[in-house]
Amino acid sequence: MAEMEVKESSKKGPGVKKSKKHSTRVDLTPMVDLGFLLITFFIFTTTVSQPTAMNLNMPKDTKDQQDLTKVKESGSLTLLLGKQNVVYYYYGNDPSTMKTTNYKDVRDIILKKKKSTPAADLFIIIKPDKDATYKDAVDILDEMDINDIPRYAMVDPTPDEYSKIQQTEQANGIK
């Protein structure tokens, strides 16, 4: 126990000053508070730092045209990832109809496409260009998960597309 027994001694001579006796009992409530606060802190920090992993399956590189996956033009949406969080997208096979968007609005575009296309035809092509960051690629892959897109592929942009992106970036003053 945290108390000590203090013996009362009444044998004091006259003129001896009575010293005031303080209780030796300490209130431990704040200490308990602190203890539990620390426990809570440690528990939270240990569980949160657990890293998670995201699956990624890449297709085999094939040189044979026969083996390539065929995508219906009506069902395809191409997303090009550029510099500074800009996403360019076009439907079907014609890069000249490219439009600009960002990572926030890309979800609506994907969902709209998903609703307007039969599930079997839907195919999203992701083309991160040389200047895109790793985060951009992960964000878009994550977007596929969030919107439950069953078929998508990650490929490099064609030189045509890359020069188109660069032109657009220059026109918009993105360095």
Partner 1 sequence: MGRAKIKRGSTTVDMTPMCDVAFLLLTFFILAAKFKPPAAIKVVTPLSVSNKVAPQKDFLMVTISKDNKVFLDMDPALKGDVLDELAKERNLSFSAQDKQNFINAQFVGVPISQLKQFDELKPEQIKGTDLPGIPVDSTNDELQAWISAAVNAQMGQRLNFLIKGDATSKYSTFSQVIDAFKKNDQYKYDLVTTSEQVPEGSELYKKNIEEQLNGGKKPTE
Applying CB under 8 A, which residues contact partner 1? 1-2, 27-29, 31-32, 35-36, 38-39, 42-43, 46, 49-61, 81, 107, 111, 128-139, 141-142, 145-148, 156
For the beta sheet containing 76-81, the strands, ordered from the edge strand earlier in sequence to the opposite edge, are 99-102, 86-91, 76-81, 123-128, 152-154
Please, which residue, 83 or 92, has the CB nearer to partner 1?
A: 83
Please, which residue, 67 or 156, has the CB nearer to partner 1?
A: 156
Nearest distance in Å: CB 1, partner 1: 7
Nearest distance in Å: CB 68, partner 1: 16
Please, which residue, 20 or 104, has the CB nearer to partner 1?
A: 104
Nearest distance in Å: CB 112, partner 1: 13
For 45-60, letters b (16+ CB in 10 Å) and e give eeeeeeeeeeeeeeee
Backbone dihedral region for residue 84 (phi beyond 0: left; psi -120 to 50: alpha; all else: beta): left
Nearest distance in Å: CB 93, partner 1: 24
3-class SS at 124? strand
